[in-house]
Amino acid sequence: MQKVLGYLISGVKVLDKIAYCILFLNILFLFFAVFRFDLFGTDVSKYTNLNLAKKNIDIIFNLLCLQSVLFVLKNKYPKIVNIEIVLWILMFLLIPYFIYQIPSIQQAYNFGA
């Protein structure tokens, strides 16, 4: 009975490591795919305000992806917590600025009116 429990525990540990690796690779893929390429695949280069809003949304998404990578890594590397705290402070300072620029597009182009 004790050997069976030992095998079950080791199997659960292996599955946990596999799930951790899949989660980490998924987060890295999201971060690099969105970081290098366009998030929505739209060309808004003609419209300055729309381009600014798209860039702001992309920056917010990239910061959140970076935070998710740090969240996964902080269990294995405890010193990453300091970097994560600094990034959270930056996000709380920057995200309202980025979001503030987005409603000006609705006013400029009268969307939803």
What is the C-alpha radius of gyration for the chain, rounded to an integer number of angstroms? 21
- Spatial contact of 69 and 28, defined as CB atoms under 8 Å apart: yes
The domain ranges of the chain are 2-108
pLDDT for 110: 58
pLDDT for 10: 86
- List per-residue pLDDT tens for the chain, 113 residues long: 788 888 888 888 887 777 777 777 777 776 666 555 555 555 555 666 666 777 777 777 777 777 877 777 777 778 888 888 888 888 888 877 777 766 665 565 555 54
> Residue 47 carries which side chain, given as an amino acid letter?
Y
pLDDT for 45: 59
Please provide residue 73's backbone torsions phi and psi, each rounded to the nearest 5 degrees.
-80, -20
